[in-house]
Each structure stands twice: as C-alpha cells, then as structure tokens.
Amino acid sequence: MEAARLHHQTIYIERERNELVARRLSAEQINAVFEGKYRIFSREKGSFQCGCCGERVVMVLYQDKAIFRHYSSERCAGERNYATYLAGRETQRETAIKQSAGKEALHLAFMQANRSGHYRVEEGYLFKKELKAVPDFIVTFQDGEQWAIDYIVTLRGDNAFRKRIDNRLRGYREHGLQPLFLIDAGYMALQGERSISFNHSESRMVVPKNDYSRAWETYIAGQQLDWELFERYFGTKDVSVQSLLYMDVEKGMGQLTRFLQLSDKWGELLFAPCEMPLDQLLAVDEKLLRESGRYSFSLFSDEEPFLLHDFTDELEVRLRRFEEENERRAMEQEAARRARPSKVVKPVYEEIDKLHELLLRCQASPNRPLYPSLEPNLAKAEALIALYLEGGEEAEACYKSAFSILMNISYPLLGE
C-alpha cells in the first residue's frame, strides 16, 4: 500500500517518492532519503500502522516504487483492495502519468476544501471491507455517509467498458457508497450552444441528484409551456435534469454541466458549462448543512437560481420558432402543390399527409446532430415529396422512394 499511519498523521510514501523524482534524485538517493527519514520507525520501532486494519506495516523500497507491506503474513481487506486498485489502473505511460496527476490534483483540492474538517478523505483501498472495484478516494462525512470518488482518464463507448462501469456502480451500492465521477475534460462534447453529447458509459456517471437539479426539474415542469410542442421539439415530455462533472487536470479546475436528459446520448444544456476550482466544488455545501443538517459537496453554480428564468424564457422563444418553421415549410409545400396541379386525376396514395408529418418530425428530431450521414437522405426525401405533389407519371415512384427513405431513417432519429 502507498499510505500508512505514523502516530497522528498519514504518510503517503509513493507521493513523497514522486516529489523526489521530480527533483531529479536517483533511485539510490531516494531510497537513502527514506532510510534516513523512516527506517527507525519501520524496523526498530515498528510504528507504522495499516490505515485499514491497524496492524503493523513496514516500509519496502524498490528501484521504481516505495510501498508499505503488512509485517505478518495475514492480509487485510485494505491489502487485497490495493491489489485490485493496481489491477484497474492505466498501464500505458501517457495515461498512467495523467491518471496520477489527476489523483494528485484531487488530493490537493480535498485538503483545501476541507479546512473545516466536515469529512475524512482516505485512499480508496483503505476501505474496511473488500471491494470488487476500488475508487481513488473514499470520503466519509461526519454523519457517516460515504462517497466513492473516481477520476476517469479513459472513456470508451464499447459494451465491455459499460459493463465495467456497471459492475463498479453495483459494488459501490452494495457497500452504501455514493459514487462521484470526475471525467477528463477532453471528453466533454458540445454541439452548438445548447447540446451536449455523451455515450452509454458516460450517462451512468451522472452526478448524484441534489437540491439544485431537483429545483430545475420542479421549475421547468411547473411552467405554462405548450407541452405538446415541447414533446415534438425534444421527443419527450419528461423533465429529467442530470449533471456531469469534468476535470481539467492542468488547470486544476472542474467543469459542471447540467442538462435536460432527452435520450441516452443527448441532452439540452440548462446553462453554459460552469468552470470552477476543484476545491470549490468539493467543499461542503454550508447552506444545506445549516438549513437541513445534511452533508453534500457544493456541486452547483452560485448563479443557478438566477438562470432558471433565463432558460425557460429562451425555451419559449425556441419552441415558437420551431412551430413557425414547421408551419412555414408546410405552407410552402402546400403552395407548391396548388401552383402545379397534379396531372394525376386521383392522388396515388392517400397517406401523403402522414408521410409529410413523418418528414417534419425527422427534420425536427433532436438526434439529428448525432447522425450527420442522414442529412442527404432527409434532403432527398423532402425533394421526392415535393415532386410527388407536382404529380405526373413519376409521382408514384417518388412517393415510394420517399416512403422507403423515411422508414429507414426514422428509427435512429425518432426511435420508431
């Protein structure tokens, strides 16, 4: 293990080693420093204690690392957790370095954020019970509630990675741990001013709900909106507010995003991503503590109460524009149909209105940005419907082609 208790303090020996490496000391010089500083406590005095089980541990020095190991042959849960933790760490040099830097940034942020001593921070592997997946840190608040903190330096969209996250979350729940993921900022994907994209794994890493996200849900759901139009615009009537937390390791900053989750891959931002110092995000919400006695991190922006009205005012404008655009397109197509009367005495198909409605729904789908390859098909379907309305010998073929295109693309765009 990389940490041990010495009297009333915790010695993070690998962290100290990294600092010496940064000062360009050789392996022999580093080991000499540790021998002079800690040898007597490790060997002669037997003063180092395991932070998990309290038993004696000794310092072990290698050429490339420094650890503590139990003095007796018995293994505690912390030692088994440490082996599990190492097995889950990044192995590629570049990502391993970044992961270590992210963990160090979080360690410093916790020290600065917790000056009032509202919680205790420990290495995740020092948890008193054996874990199937071990977090970077475990935070224990004064009321006993515990949070598992993870920095995600690698994010993938495949099923194997999703199952790993699911298993991690299941293990946390079994031990009553509240998960908090900080995802590397390089994975934040925004489309335009309002859209945020995430994959199946990322959507499982949402920030636990707090009073601020619930306040957004209550406020939006209570507005006098045209909810039928809301459903056509977003594809759902549900008001589900979620949040994702990203971390810029180089800046030492967190980026909080809060959004309406409209599918498992897309959301509508409630406000621009809010960049804040990590120690501000990881400080205890003092207002919540005073008013309710509950503990939580300050996972909110101070400006959020003032942004509620801005969002719904802008939303009403966007819904009106969306409705006006649909009406304009419908009027243009009707005008084109009337201007060029069909040469066919009887319409080829009586379902043209339904087909036209399907076209409009596909064009208005919030999933369009996720499937740029479908844009040519949408344009082609619209042109074919316009040709059908003109009538003529090719009208039937135009209808059939438009029908076929829209049936093929309606599933990814509309889920039907």
Q: What confidence tens digit (pLDDT) does each residue in 213-241 have?
A: 999 999 999 998 889 988 888 888 889 99
pLDDT in tens, 46-72: 888 988 888 898 989 988 888 898 888
Domain that holds residue 364: 340-414
Same domain, 175 and 203: yes
Whole-structure pTM value: 0.74
Assess if residue 200 is contained within a domain: yes
Band of the pLDDT at 44, cuts 50, 70, 90?
Answer: confident
- Residue 52 and residue 5: Cα distance in Å, rounded? 10
Assess if residue 327 is contained within a domain: no
Assess if residue 397 is contained within a domain: yes
How, if at all, do strands 177-184 and 241-248 pair?
parallel
Same domain, 56 and 105: no
Assess if residue 313 is contained within a domain: no
Same domain, 69 and 162: no
Same domain, 20 and 61: yes
Assess if residue 3 is contained within a domain: yes
**CB distance 367 to 413 below 8 Å:** yes
Q: How many domains does the chain have?
A: 3
Same domain, 158 and 187: yes
Structural domain ending residue among the three candidates 55, 74, 93: 74
pLDDT at 73: 64
Name the residue with higher pLDDT: 276 or 21.
Answer: 276
Average pLDDT of the chain to the nearest whole number = 88
Above 80 in pLDDT, residue 344? Answer: no
- Residue 320 and residue 230: Cα distance in Å, rounded? 10
Assess if residue 140 is contained within a domain: yes
Q: Which residue has the tokens 């969306």?
A: 322
pLDDT at 416: 65
Assess if residue 332 is contained within a domain: no
* Closest residue by Cα to residue 149 from 183, 186, 112: 183
Same domain, 205 and 158: yes
Q: How far is CA 11 from CA 34, 38, 90, 107, 229, in A?
A: 12, 10, 24, 13, 60
Provide the token pair at 223: 């507005």
Structural domain ending residue among the three candidates 57, 74, 91: 74
Same domain, 82 and 199: yes
Query: Which residues 6+ apart lie within 8 Å of 211 measured at CB?
Result: 288
Same domain, 189 and 64: no
Question: What are the residue ranges of helices labelled H in 198-250?
Answer: 211-221, 227-234
Same domain, 123 and 243: yes
Same domain, 151 and 8: no
Q: How far is CA 8 from CA 49, 119, 124, 252, in A?
A: 11, 17, 19, 29
Same domain, 202 and 298: yes
Assess if residue 315 is contained within a domain: no
Half-sphere CA count of 384, side-chain side, radius 13 A? 21
Same domain, 198 and 245: yes
